[in-house]
Structure 1
Amino acid sequence: MTSAVAKNDSEKGLARVAQALAGWTEKWFPDAYVVALAGVVVVTVAALANGSSPQMVFDSFGNGFWDLTAFTLQMAMVVLTGYVVATSPPVARLIDRLAAIPRTASSAVSFVALLSTTVSLLNWGLSLVFGGLLARAIARRSDLRVDYRALGAAAFMGLGAVWALGMSSSAAQLQATASSLPPPLLRITGVLDFGTTIFTWQSMVMCVIIIALTVLIAHFSAPRGAAIKTAQDLDVDVHDEPEEVPPRSRPGEWLEYSRILPILAGVLTLGWLISQLLSKPVLTVVSSLNGYLLVFLMLGLVLHGTPRKFLQSVSLAVPATAGILVQFPLYAAMAAILTKAEGRGGQTISGHLAEFFTDIGGGGAFAVVIAIYTVILGIFVPSGGGKWLVEAPYVMQSATDVHMNLGWTVQIYNVAEALPNLINPFFMLPLLAVLKLRARDLVGFTFLQFMFHLPVVLLLVWLLGTTFDFVPPVVPAK
């Protein structure tokens, strides 16, 4: 009895620390756009201090601002396509069936964590909405009393644990798409397909270990007994009211309410995919970001059945893309200043940072330092793809200099990049809208995950990194 009480008190103590951190971040953390603006200012000051002329800094800012236009749209489409697929009627029915599977409160929380992490390997936007809808469906069950906050935190774990090790990894997708890579970065790394990044056995082993760790923590940290706070306790209505599609009012709308065009579009997409798989290497096809988005967009159209229902879902998804659309140009400007604004001796800030990381040397020390640096920077710049474009020029140059495998360097970044999401609530926003909760309701549980994930991730990037050989980059001919 005494040990049980002590254990319960310890868990309450951890919860108090986590909730205190959640309250601090909610009170003091500025909007992510403000952080991005501040980042531009800091990089500008650093470039001027490095000896760059004001004109060179101004030119780098303006000329680089739109360098990521294509990639910005692609990342916004990742969110949009994920939302559209997750809210389609077939997926909604699947969620209701899945919600009936768990038998206990703890297993319900760990079940949501397992599915959210697994789905995030396909699409992180899909994972957020899918996980949130699954949490709501379980919370509606009258035969099971589950902590709604823990369910919500479990729904976020795809984005907080392994999303960047999957198909929608911004860094891996960017490195696999020559047309999306800024020329300075392309010259350093060449094109790295998925076979050198997310599909290496080391990356997949790391992914399995982190998912298992996530599920275990979710299971054993789920509140029990009197500590449980259900959705009803939190005054959250989890009974979904389906969006009604207005009836057809004029003859010209009949195609909007017909399944003919979505079916034909689906057939065309399937035909294109088969043709690509027959004519190109499989890794080349699956590494194509444009092809990936095409398949997910058309899948959403087919699953919704009619253009009218599909467009209604799209209109609901668009607000979730706002942060990406206005922030990524600032990241592009930062990357341009870092890599193009030359200072004393013709050296850029990117060059100085590359020298710093090169001096660390290769092997485990390099992997651990890059991972820690990525975590720290990610707390203040919550953007997987945008932040990679800021980091990549000097990190990948350093990796080349110390003969660290470039594909594994991308994965070091990917696995470490997810960790700040467990602290910074920026990417929780779409999920919070679905759950009707506040960030402070979830961060207590996600911070607990962070405490366990950080040392495990550092150990994995060090140990698994020793199994790679260095492969010189191959830059495609113009």
Structure 2
Amino acid sequence: MTTSTDARATKRGPILRIADATNSFVHRFLPDPYVIGALLIAVIFLWGIVATPTTPAQMMKYFGDGAWSLVGFAMQLSVVIVTSQALANTPPVARVLARVATVPKTPAQAALFVALFTAAISVLNWGVGFVAGVILAREISRRMTGAHFPLLAAAAYAGYTVWSGGLSSSIPLTLNTKGHPLEKMTGQVPLTETIFSPTNIAVVVAMAIAYALVARFMTPSKAEAVGLPPESPEAVASDEPEKKEGTFASMLEHSRVLSIGLGVLGLVWFVMSVATGGLNALNLNLVNLLILSLGLMLYKGVVPYLRAAEDAGRAIIPIVIIYPLYAAISSMITNSGLGEIMTQFFAGIANAQTLPVITFLTAGLINVFVPADGGHLVLQGPIFLELAQQFGADRGMVVTAMAMGANWTNLLQPFWALPLLAIARLGIRDIMGYCFVMLVAGGLVACLVFGIAPLIL
């Protein structure tokens, strides 16, 4: 007679069994992201000396010069975390999220829904999608019995990575801007060849569906589900006014006139920027201003807003400490010539039909070491776009492959996961097993689309 444990085991599909094995491996062997960064520093430092004419002194210079090159970007992401959590904990936003969170009815539906929802928002703007997905995952976990929060967070992260095929994709937008770095070679590449091309739309839809389906089939049983971590901020701001002293200073601190006035000021600038620049005007700074402004308008004074923001302060520590390592890694790879070595290797095995696939895979590999779209454009752009001209290949398809590959391996790279994990209050090991399975699925689907597209277009 089959025991209940055996019966439960037989119901576990192959995808869930792979996820279990991957999670087990990750929990045993994947170190903290700071350790990963430190190991990468050592590997890149030695590799640069051995594989290029770069001297140890030059590698040290590249390390030192690059270490603080991402300070501004780290500050932007820190603002994302602080302001988004403060906004999410206001009663009006909590009510909207509560309504959206009721759409999925089962934990499996929740995993699929979070991935698709995040992908849809991220295609419109990556900054909004980055925040919205994980907040929705948290809201669903708060309200649904049996929802597996680490999987929902991983599904949100996977859905977010398709932003590179959306309206805020930096590589296509850069190549469509007058005076871009490769203008002498390509001229301006219109968005009809990249973001709005059939290939781009197909690969974005295919990868989003792949992530959603894989997440759905990785959903564990309710008995195995893990809810919100104890330290997650589960309470939203109260509708009741705070008690305040009857002093003039206290009245100013809790004045809605001041907080709403500041919020309206930021909101007006946001509207003006979008009205004059369109959707292309949306960037991380503008999205941060929108989130900050809405938060100020929804709290009962400036000081209550600051108190809510303080709760998220601890979550930005990993970004402040770890990002200098990745900035140094990027500097050493770019300046030593290691990035060009990797790119030239893959370029040497490409032809007209395989060029988009090779571009996608090369971008994915480079992204593990240089997780920034600007770095891909500098390293890959001159070589692969020149090859597109030589082979008579579709340059827009090559640009699309470069942009999608540059974000595909974010599922393996903790650089972008850290801000999301800070909002979720999770560790990298909590989601990386699921992310790896979705990485494989998304890569296979993308390679299939990029492999077929040159034959039919």
Q: Do these two structures clear the TM 0.5 threshold for a shared fold by scoring above it?
A: yes
Judging changes above 3 Å, is the alpha-carbon distance between structure 1 residues 134 and 421 closer, same or farther for their aligned structure 2 residues?
farther
Q: What is the SS of the residue equivalent to 1:35? A: helix
2:292 aligned with 1:297, yes or no? yes
Kindly state the Cα deviation for residue 32 of structure 1 after the two structures are TM-superposed: 1.7
The 5-angstrom pairing of residues 45-444 of structure 1 reads: 45-49=46-50, 50-121=52-123, 122=125, 123-139=128-144, 146-149=145-148, 152-165=150-163, 172=171, 175=174, 198=195, 202-223=199-220, 228-230=223-225, 240-242=234-236, 247-249=243-245, 250-278=247-275, 280-286=276-282, 288-341=283-336, 348-361=337-350, 363-376=352-365, 384-385=371-372, 388=373, 391-403=376-388, 409=398, 411-420=400-409, 422=411
Letter matched to residue 321 of structure 1: I
Structure 1 stretches of 5 or more lacking a match? 140-145, 342-347, 469-478
Is the CA contact (8 Å cut-off) linking 1:60 and 1:333 kept in structure 2? yes
Judging changes above 3 Å, is the alpha-carbon distance between structure 1 residues 361 and 317 closer, same or farther for their aligned structure 2 residues?
same
Instruction: Find the aligned partners of 2:140 and 2:410 in 1 and give their Cα distance.
Output: 19
Letter matched to residue 404 of structure 2: V
Q: What is the SS of the residue equivalent to 2:53? A: coil
Instruction: Find the aligned partners of 1:185 and 1:37 in 2 and give their Cα distance.
Output: 33
- Normalising by the residue count of structure 2, what TM-score does the alignment of the two structures yield? 0.76
Kindly state the Cα deviation for residue 90 of structure 1 after the two structures are TM-superposed: 1.7
Kindly state the Cα deviation for residue 456 of structure 1 after the two structures are TM-superposed: 0.6
Is the CA contact (8 Å cut-off) linking 2:154 and 2:434 kept in structure 1? no
Q: What is the SS of the residue equivalent to 2:312? A: helix
Query: Which deviates the most, 403-412 or 80-89?
Result: 403-412
Instruction: Find the aligned partners of 2:71 and 2:190 in 1 and give their Cα distance.
Output: 22
Which residue does 2:444 correspond to in 1? 455
RMSD: 4.3
**Deviation readout 1:69-107 (Å, 9 max, x if unpaired):** 333333333444433333332221112223334444543
Which residue does 1:36 correspond to in 2? 37
Give aligned-pair identity as a percent.
24
Kindly state the Cα deviation for residue 8 of structure 1 after the two structures are TM-superposed: 7.3
- Normalising by the residue count of structure 1, what TM-score does the alignment of the two structures yield? 0.73
Instruction: Find the aligned partners of 2:382 and 2:162 in 1 and give their Cα distance.
Output: 21
Kindly state the Cα deviation for residue 52 of structure 1 after the two structures are TM-superposed: 1.9
Instruction: Find the aligned partners of 2:186 and 2:34 in 1 and give their Cα distance.
Output: 29
Judging changes above 3 Å, is the alpha-carbon distance between structure 1 residues 131 and 326 closer, same or farther for their aligned structure 2 residues?
same
Instruction: Find the aligned partners of 1:375 and 1:174 in 2 and give their Cα distance.
Output: 20
Structure 2 stretches of 5 or more lacking a match? 1-5
Judging changes above 3 Å, is the alpha-carbon distance between structure 1 residues 238 and 352 closer, same or farther for their aligned structure 2 residues?
closer
Instruction: Find the aligned partners of 1:197 and 1:309 in 2 and give their Cα distance.
Output: 45
Instruction: Find the aligned partners of 1:52 and 1:433 in 2 and give their Cα distance.
Output: 37
Which residue does 2:3 correspond to in 1? none
The number of aligned residues is 440
Which residue does 1:23 correspond to in 2? 24
**Deviation readout 1:327-379 (Å, 9 max, x if unpaired):** 333333333333334xxxxxx3344334324323354423323333444565x
